[in-house]
A and B are shown apart, each in its own frame.
Chain A
């Protein structure tokens, strides 16, 4: 922060003033503004970036959210909305001159209607809590991001979250019916409908995954699906990642869409096994976890075919989970791959690119080279069914220069994903993290159109400013960096 005492003072005064005004607008809510109280809100799941907002406001009713946004709009104050703060791209990184709008108090399931297969929930309800509430009725909410125990449905809508079962059951956008949102002007409106579609443009699709840039979600109507009567998990070990990748293509070619199809490379297998003790073959180059679900007859018919495919793809061992406990344990290993890798190294950085699956071997080989070039280890977990790759870069932030090297390696990997026809983010969102790489993926006109879409909802750019879509100036600067092959010509330029 600037050392100028006047700036410090005015910032403090502003904070006091905002806090007082917001307190009056949110009589049942809560206002936080001491340095100590603000600290937990300085970053989300991506701790590389930190910033303190002027004030954190935790409204307790929709009317209070409306009042806060109307106030922000009138005062031209930036607003960053936040759920549980588990996001991995800095989407909930506060704005230093703005307020952080926490939705933690919106933690109620408003209605659970098992007969009609839906639930109406507040945005601060945890993803897993919805399925827990629905399960006694034989129903569940399908998207299951690995952070589902903590992440909230509001954040899921903002990020269009997926999960290990999204190959078959889709992303958030496929599993929600309607949302209530508040615009930056403080107006409340319902988007979507309890039926299959709504009149006019598909604003549900536009708002889902819009990372808090267009409106603030205050209620979500989710679809509840019947729990599959049976789920079986096949684990196959391979001597080469290439064979495992080929096996994935062959399963699809067989006409089978597994509920989940996950690939881990050897470093990830070792880390997960060390962490969860779930029985992974630690000497394998790659492991595939393939889950089949459905009626008993469907699953039994498919399990044999999948096993045949794996055998024909040179699987060296094949194991079908013997019990529900074992099935869950094998998934636990996969779902805890991130923290598991975290134990191998003081810090890790998770990348989120998607590639056409056929490019897997090429991408992994190139990543191996990059790993050596940057002298940083990489472990890979891969939502193989849908091509979503999560390389985990292992680094030590206490070693000077290693964080910067990690960021640069991450950026190289994302650009590699784009080069093979993929995308810079499959499910974690752009946030602040991948904003430069957006310049690589989209041309000038398309980026300008994104800005125009934003302006249609938020003409003064107050909702989550500076995220998701880079300014053209920033792209010009980033483009210039590339001429120098990753060597930053101006390390002092603010990059994020």
Chain B
């Protein structure tokens, strides 16, 4: 069902701008567990973009799809599949997820280190700024350096730089074949995955779960066959990729909070202290070691310190209580520049106030 709700959305935002009232942007509400819960969240008006939906331009041979932000992600994926194509960053397919929410949260699946992130495939966006203006950046073509690359900056900004209305993405063909191999491996040892990343092979996934290392190959039948023979290992039919992508893997059933720590893949095992009750943290390595999922009850500040000491950053990936820290604090000159950037798009801090980095909302 196609519907252009941009005029109504613009009207609502403009009214709130005039009255200085904040807005909570919601697509499918499938990722409500992400981000900070601000003290005033309850009182904020919800701006629902789910009605603004539909694929507006898709020409498979151009490798570009444009769609409204409220378009269900499942519809986007199905439409692409019918033409043998895919979203190259394979985002989480949470029930009800919209395309806009996926981009605003900047989430990419296990394929990310090999085929790029959401931002890498974002070509253009149309957004409503926090000034109530209808803005269009980038375009529908693959190469475009006219003006600042504001479209990519919208990705992962949690809506705080604009309400996404329309987006254009680069899409790619689905591989002919996909195969997953498994290997025995010492726990916490990412070295084999790091080594593999320096070799030219059609790898599209590498994860270490406990003492089992999984490698996914994708490409032409002949290419995958040849790479599989070279690598050895056991062929598996219970590949973990979809479960890792959608946070449904048994690892995520541990009731402790989930943290995502983003570091360079070659970063050694992080020295994460045990919980107060003596339980050790549980760690799962995806993205060849660059995305580490951690289950722990450690206080946020300790996790941030750990991530910072490893030249990375941490984000909480499970529902937080009001006021809990969820994102790595930004400091110094970077904080000033990012705050000024936020100001340039949303001077009154109306869009998703308090949801992202609170230090940028001051």
Binding site for B on A (CB under 8 A): 114-117, 138-139, 159-160, 162, 166-167, 170-171, 173-174, 183, 187-189, 191, 193-203, 205-206, 208-210, 213-214, 225-229, 249-250, 252-253, 255-257, 294-298, 300-302, 354-358, 383, 386-388, 421-430, 434, 438, 441-443, 445-446, 449-450, 452-457, 468-469
Contact present for B225 and A226 (CB under 8 Å): no
Q: For window 86-128 of chain B, which residues contact chain A by CB distance below 8 Å?
A: 106, 112-113, 116-117, 119-120
Q: How far is the CA of A468 from the CA of B116 in the complex (A)?
A: 28
Q: How far is the CA of A387 from the CA of B140 in the complex (A)?
A: 11
Shortest CB-to-CB span from A303 to chain B, Å, is 11
Q: How far is the CA of A210 from the CA of B152 in the complex (A)?
A: 13
Q: How far is the CA of A226 from the CA of B152 in the complex (A)?
A: 26
Q: How far is the CA of A252 from the CA of B243 in the complex (A)?
A: 30
Instruction: Give B315's nearest chain A residue, CB to CB.
Output: A199
Shortest CB-to-CB span from A233 to chain B, Å, is 18
Residues of B within 8 Å of A117, CB to CB, are: 197-198
Top 3 A-B residue pairs of the complex, sorted by shortest distance between their CB atoms: A205-B152, A298-B223, A255-B173
Contact present for B61 and A252 (CB under 8 Å): yes
Indicate if B54 sits at the interface (CB-CB under 8 A): no
Q: How far is the CA of A443 from the CA of B129 in the complex (A)?
A: 14
Contact present for A193 and B313 (CB under 8 Å): yes
Q: How far is the CA of A383 from the CA of B84 in the complex (A)?
A: 24
Given A194-B264, A206-B152, A450 and B61 touching (CB < 8 A)?
Answer: no
Instruction: Give B161's nearest chain A residue, CB to CB.
Output: A201
Instruction: Give A442's nearest chain B residue, CB to CB.
Output: B147
Residues of B within 8 Å of A445, CB to CB, are: 133-135
Q: How far is the CA of A403 from the CA of B227 in the complex (A)?
A: 56
Indicate if B247 sits at the interface (CB-CB under 8 A): no
User: In the complex, given contacts A199-B328, A257-B172, what are 13 additional A-B residue pairs having Cβ atoms less than 8 angstroms apart?
Assistant: A170-B116, A194-B264, A196-B287, A199-B313, A200-B327, A200-B360, A206-B148, A255-B84, A257-B173, A358-B62, A387-B62, A425-B144, A453-B150
Contact present for A434 and B146 (CB under 8 Å): yes
Q: For window 139-160 of chain B, which residues contact chain A by CB distance below 8 Å?
A: 139-150, 152-153, 155-157
Contact present for B341 and A196 (CB under 8 Å): no
Q: Chain B 261-291, CB within 8 Å of chain A: the 1/0 string?
A: 0111111000000000000000000010011
Shortest CB-to-CB span from A226 to chain B, Å, is 4
Q: How far is the CA of A295 from the CA of B84 in the complex (A)?
A: 23
Q: How far is the CA of A357 from the CA of B64 in the complex (A)?
A: 11
Can you list 20 pairs linking A and B with CB atoms under 8 Å apart?
A: A115-B194, A139-B198, A162-B143, A189-B334, A197-B262, A202-B106, A203-B337, A203-B341, A205-B152, A206-B148, A206-B152, A213-B148, A301-B222, A356-B140, A358-B62, A425-B146, A443-B136, A449-B135, A452-B345, A469-B147
Indicate if B63 sits at the interface (CB-CB under 8 A): yes
Shortest CB-to-CB span from B151 to chain A, Å, is 8
Q: Count residues on chain B whose CB falls below 8 Å from chain A CBs.
A: 88
Contact present for B333 and A187 (CB under 8 Å): yes
Q: How far is the CA of A226 from the CA of B196 in the complex (A)?
A: 10
Within 8 Å by CB of A196, from B113, B146, B150, lies: B113
Indicate if B75 sits at the interface (CB-CB under 8 A): no
Shortest CB-to-CB span from A285 to chain B, Å, is 21
Contact present for B62 and A228 (CB under 8 Å): no
Instruction: Give B137's nearest chain A residue, CB to CB.
Output: A446
Q: How far is the CA of A355 from the CA of B141 in the complex (A)?
A: 6
Contact present for B311 and A196 (CB under 8 Å): no
Contact present for B141 and A421 (CB under 8 Å): yes
Instruction: Give A420's nearest chain B residue, CB to CB.
Output: B141
Contact present for A358 and B311 (CB under 8 Å): no
Q: How far is the CA of A387 from the CA of B61 in the complex (A)?
A: 11
Q: Chain B 49-66, CB within 8 Å of chain A: the 1/0 string?
A: 000000000011111100
Indicate if B74 sits at the interface (CB-CB under 8 A): no
Instruction: Give B116's nearest chain A residue, CB to CB.
Output: A174
Residues of A within 8 Å of B106, CB to CB, are: 197, 202
Within 8 Å by CB of B143, from A171, A213, A255, A297, lies: A171
Within 8 Å by CB of A294, from B194, B199, B200, B267, lies: B200
Instruction: Give B144's nearest chain A residue, CB to CB.
Output: A423
Shortest CB-to-CB span from B143 to chain A, Å, is 4
Residues of B within 8 Å of A159, CB to CB, are: 145
Contact present for A252 and B63 (CB under 8 Å): yes
Contact present for A302 and B220 (CB under 8 Å): yes
Contact present for B141 and A426 (CB under 8 Å): yes
Contact present for A354 and B135 (CB under 8 Å): no
Given A295-B226, A452-B344, A426 and B200 touching (CB < 8 A)?
Answer: no
Interface centre among A210, A213, A453 (most CB of B within 10 A): A453
Q: How far is the CA of A166 from the CA of B198 in the complex (A)?
A: 20
Q: For window 24-65 of chain B, which residues contact chain A by CB distance below 8 Å?
A: 59-64
Residues of A within 8 Å of B135, CB to CB, are: 445-446, 449
Q: How far is the CA of A228 from the CA of B201 in the complex (A)?
A: 9
Given A197-B262, A205-B149, A457-B337, A386 and B173 touching (CB < 8 A)?
Answer: no
Given A191-B334, A197-B262, A297-B226, A174 and B136 touching (CB < 8 A)?
Answer: no
Q: How far is the CA of A438 from the CA of B137 in the complex (A)?
A: 12
Contact present for B313 and A422 (CB under 8 Å): no
Residues of B within 8 Å of A209, CB to CB, are: 145, 148-149
Q: How far is the CA of A457 from the CA of B339 in the complex (A)?
A: 10
Contact present for B173 and A226 (CB under 8 Å): no
Q: How far is the CA of A432 from the CA of B226 in the complex (A)?
A: 51
Interface centre among B134, B199, B341 (most CB of A within 10 A): B341
Indicate if B176 sits at the interface (CB-CB under 8 A): yes
Contact present for A423 and B59 (CB under 8 Å): no
Q: For window 297-334 of chain B, which residues contact chain A by CB distance below 8 Å?
A: 311-313, 315, 327-330, 332-334
Q: How far is the CA of A202 from the CA of B146 in the complex (A)?
A: 18
Q: How far is the CA of A100 from the CA of B59 in the complex (A)?
A: 45
Instruction: Give B157's nearest chain A residue, CB to CB.
Output: A201
Residues of B within 8 Å of A354, CB to CB, are: 139, 141-144
Contact present for A196 and B112 (CB under 8 Å): yes
Residues of B within 8 Å of A227, CB to CB, are: 200
Indicate if B340 sits at the interface (CB-CB under 8 A): yes
Within 8 Å by CB of A455, from B174, B223, B344, lies: B344
Residues of B within 8 Å of A166, CB to CB, are: 143
Contact present for A202 and B156 (CB under 8 Å): yes
Interface centre among B172, B174, B200 (most CB of A within 10 A): B200
Contact present for A296 and B262 (CB under 8 Å): no
Instruction: Give A468's nearest chain B residue, CB to CB.
Output: B147
Q: How far is the CA of A236 from the CA of B133 in the complex (A)?
A: 48
Contact present for B263 and A195 (CB under 8 Å): yes
Contact present for A203 and B198 (CB under 8 Å): no
Shortest CB-to-CB span from B322 to chain A, Å, is 22
Instruction: Give A354's nearest chain B residue, CB to CB.
Output: B141
Instruction: Give B334's nearest chain A residue, CB to CB.
Output: A189
Shortest CB-to-CB span from A418 to chain B, Å, is 9
Shortest CB-to-CB span from B51 to chain A, Å, is 23
Residues of A within 8 Å of B340, CB to CB, are: 455-457
Contact present for A195 and B262 (CB under 8 Å): yes
Residues of A within 8 Å of B194, CB to CB, are: 115-116
Contact present for A255 and B152 (CB under 8 Å): no
Contact present for A196 and B117 (CB under 8 Å): yes
Q: How far is the CA of A300 from the CA of B176 in the complex (A)?
A: 15
Within 8 Å by CB of A183, from B141, B220, B333, lies: B333
Contact present for B333 and A189 (CB under 8 Å): yes
Shortest CB-to-CB span from A356 to chain B, Å, is 5
